[in-house]
């Protein structure tokens, strides 16, 4: 491990950075109602009361929700939304407490069942000022200002200076993409220290984010209870520790997630944990790099409690696969270069079959994990959303016991049952 010690002491983000407090806008929905609507193409009264009368911009809806406690949800149609241009330090969206923000509706709106964030893109962009000029972009795109909030179905991009999303409160984020954010804290900075407050992130993608000062290209977490499941971390970088995630003095849990081609100049090319707990389960961690001598893809320092790495694949990372986790904290992993031990870790080619790093039917990672280590809060599903299988399963090779009990697979993905004919063909390839 390098001699430089990552700490948030004396470098925690100061709210004074943003200057004046958020100026609440005057727009209020017609009457008190639980749902507000946002659609750039709306041609009605623009009071947010329906899809026809939707606000054409997001900020008036957030202002209305701030001033009216009856508002519980905001539905947002596809389009690109930018904070009001008050200069890089004072321009950001502010999400108030107890509000659920849903993107991914088609232009013109529609029922909740028609929502599809992968098809209808609701983008929160920091590209204020001169379009395409990064020098005047917003320092932060979205500030989660209160607890019990939900952000579902958005892309957050274009922050320059601080981070894409900032929060000091517990919230839930799902089906979101955070990409091309660059600043002191990369894509996301969390300082959620209230007892009982949890940040839950699922089905999200973090890609091409860059931390320029404090580590964690995708996420910097200070003292937070952070739970991550079914997420992808790809091509993020940090000038310090934690190419994708840096967690300090907090509780970190990550399950069924992929870490690919992340980079850190210091320790933890993919994940760095300092003075806290880390429960890392069913991860696929490949081609994460650091030039720092003694660094590893997954790295811990003074780990506490029930910290462990289980059911995971660590392959082709440099200079090491894992550091700072004693042997007793490693269970049922496929780790390049590790020798076999009592915790059933091994080193063998995981036999990936595609660029998403799924494993083949002949992989040594098939059925060699342990469901004991799956966290109770997470769905028993893999990165694709397919169920983790622990029931009897018929194998395609007559030479093995067709009805033996399956365990779960190692890595982010679970191989699903296939027809006998298709399985035999796959084994011949």
pLDDT tens, 317-372? Answer: 999 999 999 988 999 999 999 987 768 899 999 999 999 999 999 999 999 999 88
End-to-end Cα distance, the chain: 42
Whole-structure pTM value: 0.88
The two structure tokens encoding residue 51: 């899809």
Quick one: average pLDDT of 303-330? 94
CA distance 69 to 34: 9
Q: Which among 146, 190, 193 is positioned nearest to 167, based on CA atoms?
A: 190
CA distance 235 to 209: 7
Coil/strand/helix, residue 420: helix
Q: Which among 172, 270, 253, 175 is positioned nearest to 216, based on CA atoms?
A: 270
pLDDT at residue 7, as a whole number: 32
Q: What angle do CA 114, 93, 49 make, to 5 degrees?
A: 45
pLDDT at residue 422, as a whole number: 57
Q: Regarding predicted confidence, which is higher, 23 or 398? A: 398
Contact, 252 vs 225, CB < 8 A?
Answer: no
The two structure tokens encoding residue 378: 């997470």
Share the mean pLDDT of the chain. 86
Q: Which among 220, 280, 217 is positioned nearest to 244, based on CA atoms?
A: 217
Contact, 283 vs 244, CB < 8 A?
Answer: no
Provide the CA 387 distance to its chain's centre, in angstroms: 20
Q: Regarding predicted confidence, which is higher, 81 or 378? A: 81
Tell me: pLDDT of 420 over 50: no
CA distance 75 to 321: 43
The domain ranges of the chain are 25-183, 220-429
Model confidence pLDDT, tens digit, residues 64-91: 999 999 999 999 999 999 998 877 788 9
Quick one: average pLDDT of 388-394? 60
Burial of 346 (0-12, 13-18, 19+ CB in 10 A): middle
């Amino acid at each position: 491990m390098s001699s430089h010690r990552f700490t948030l002491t004396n470098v925690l983000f100061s709210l004074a950075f943003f200057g004046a407090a958020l100026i609440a806008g005057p727009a209020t929905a017609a009457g008190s109602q639980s749902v507000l609507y946002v659609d750039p193409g709306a041609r009605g009264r623009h009071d947010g009361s329906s899809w026809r009368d939707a606000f054409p911009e997001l900020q008036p809806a957030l202002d209305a929700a701030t001033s009216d406690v009856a508002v519980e949800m905001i539905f947002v149609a596809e389009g690109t939304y930018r904070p009001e241009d008050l200069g890089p330090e004072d321009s950001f969206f502010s999400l108030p407490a107890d509000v659920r923000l849903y993107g991914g509706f088609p232009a013109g709106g529609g029922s909740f069942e028609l929502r599809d964030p992968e098809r209808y893109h609701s983008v929160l962009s920091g590209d204020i000022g001169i379009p395409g000029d990064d020098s005047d972009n917003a320092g932060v795109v979205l500030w989660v200002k209160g607890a019990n909030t939900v952000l579902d179905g958005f892309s957050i991009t274009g922050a320059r200076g601080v981070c894409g999303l900032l929060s000091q409160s517990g919230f839930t984020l799902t089906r979101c993409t955070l990409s091309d954010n660059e600043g002191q804290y990369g894509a996301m900075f969390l300082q959620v220290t209230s007892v009982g407050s949890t940040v839950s992130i699922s089905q999200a993608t973090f890609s091409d984010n860059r931390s320029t000062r404090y580590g964690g290209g995708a996420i910097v977490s200070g003292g937070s209870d952070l739970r991550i499941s079914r997420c992808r971390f790809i091509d993020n970088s940090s000038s310090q520790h934690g190419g994708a995630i840096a967690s300090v003095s907090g509780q970190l849990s990550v399950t069924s997630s992929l870490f690919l081609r992340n980079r850190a100049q210091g320790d933890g090319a993919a994940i760095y944990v300092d003075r806290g707990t880390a429960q890392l389960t069913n991860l696929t961690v490949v081609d994460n790099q650091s030039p720092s001598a003694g660094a590893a893809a997954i790295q811990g320092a003074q780990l506490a409690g029930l910290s462990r790495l289980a059911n995971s694949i660590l392959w082709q990372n440099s200079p090491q696969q894992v550091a700072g986790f004693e042997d007793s904290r490693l269970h049922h992993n496929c780790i390049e270069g590790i020798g076999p031990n009592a915790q059933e870790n091994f080193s063998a080619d995981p036999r990936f079959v595609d660029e998403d790093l799924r494993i083949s039917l002949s992989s040594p990672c098939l059925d060699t994990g342990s469901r004991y280590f799956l966290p109770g809060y997470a769905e028993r599903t893999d990165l694709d959303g397919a169920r983790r299988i622990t029931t009897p399963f018929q194998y395609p090779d007559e030479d093995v016991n067709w009805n033996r009990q399956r365990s779960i697979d190692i890595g982010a993905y679970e191989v699903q049952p296939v027809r006998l004919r298709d399985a035999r063909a796959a084994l011949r390839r």
